[in-house]
Amino acid sequence: MKIVIIEDEAKTARALAALITAVQPGAEILALLPSVRSAVNWFRGGTEADLVFMDVQLADGVCFDIFREVEVSAPVVFCTAYEEYAIEGFKVNGIDYILKPFSEAALKAALAKMERLKNYFRQEGEYRHLLEPLTTTQGKNSFLVYKESKYSIVATENIAFFYVRGELPVLHTFDNKEYFVNQSLDMLESVLPPGNWYRITRKCLVQFSAVKEIEHYFSRRLLVHLRVSTPDQLIVSKEKSGAFLHWLDHR
C-alpha cells in the first residue's frame, strides 16, 4: 500500500510513518508533506497513492485548500486535534477521522477499513466509488438568515458572494443585501452546489454567475470584478490564477 502523509509537525509525521509501517509492514511511505503548497505540487506530479493521512491545520492553511487546487483521487484518513472538521472531511475523500494523539488501535482500525473497501470491489481502484455518496450532492439551495428581529430565506442562486468581515462570514446578495451567517467559509463551501462556487481568497467565496470580468494584475495575479460591489478588491494569487481561469472556462 502506497501512502502519503500530510502533516506540518515533522516529529508527528515521522512518528505516524513509523507507526504505519509497524502495523502495516507492506506499507510504502511515498512522501511526508508539511504544507498545502507542497501537497498541491506533489499531487500535480502525477504519482498515485493508495491512501493519504492528512492533518487539517497545516503551516500555510487548512487541508481543504488542497482539494480546491488539485484533484486528490486517493481516500483520506484525517488525523487531527480538531473534531469539528469531521463533516467537511467526509464531504471530500474521507474514509476515517482520527483524533490526536492517535493510537495504534485507531490506526489499525483505519487501515483495516481501507482493506475492507479494497476487497469489496473486484477491480483495482474501484473502491473509490464508495466515496461518491459522500461527495456528490446538489448542494444547499437556500439559507435561513436573521436581521432586525426577523428571519427570512435567501435562495442560494440569489447570493453573489460570501466574505469574512472581522471574524464573521457575511452573505451578500445580487440586490446588495447583507446578512451574517453562523458557518465558516470552509463549511459553506462544503454545502454549496458543487462547481458553482470558487474560493477566490481565504476570505471570499464567489458564485460563477456573479463574475463580470477579470483583468491581469501585478505579479501575474488576477483582479476579479463582480456584477455587484465588493468591500475590497478581489485579487487571485498567481498560484491560483490558472486554476481559477480553468474553473471559469470549464464551468
- Angstrom distance (rounded) from CA 118 to CA 134: 17
pLDDT digits (tens, 9 = 90+) for 139-152: 888 998 888 888 89
Mean pLDDT of 5-17: 91
The three cell numbers of residue 100 are 490526536
- Angstrom distance (rounded) from CA 175 to CA 223: 22
- Of 119 and 66, the structure prediction assigns the larger pLDDT to 66
pLDDT of residue 84: 64
Mean pLDDT of 223-245: 93
pLDDT of residue 87: 63
Sign (positive or negative) of CA dihedral 29, 109, 52, 55:
negative
User: Does residue 131 carry a pLDDT above 60?
Assistant: no
Strands 150-155 and 234-236: unpaired
pLDDT band at residue 184, thresholds of 50, 70 and 90? Answer: confident
Closest CA to 167 of 138, 199, 203: 203
Give bridge partners of residue 98 from the DSSP assignment: 79
Closest CA to 194 of 180, 177, 208, 175: 208
Side chain identity at 229, as an amino acid letter?
A: S
pLDDT band at residue 154, thresholds of 50, 70 and 90? Answer: very high
- Angstrom distance (rounded) from CA 14 to CA 16: 5
Question: Widest CA span of the chain, in angstroms?
Answer: 61
Domains and CATH numbers, the chain: 2-135 (3.40.50.2300), 142-250 (2.40.50.1020)
Strands 61-62 and 197-201: unpaired
pLDDT band at residue 57, thresholds of 50, 70 and 90? Answer: confident
The three cell numbers of residue 81 are 486535534
pLDDT of residue 83: 64
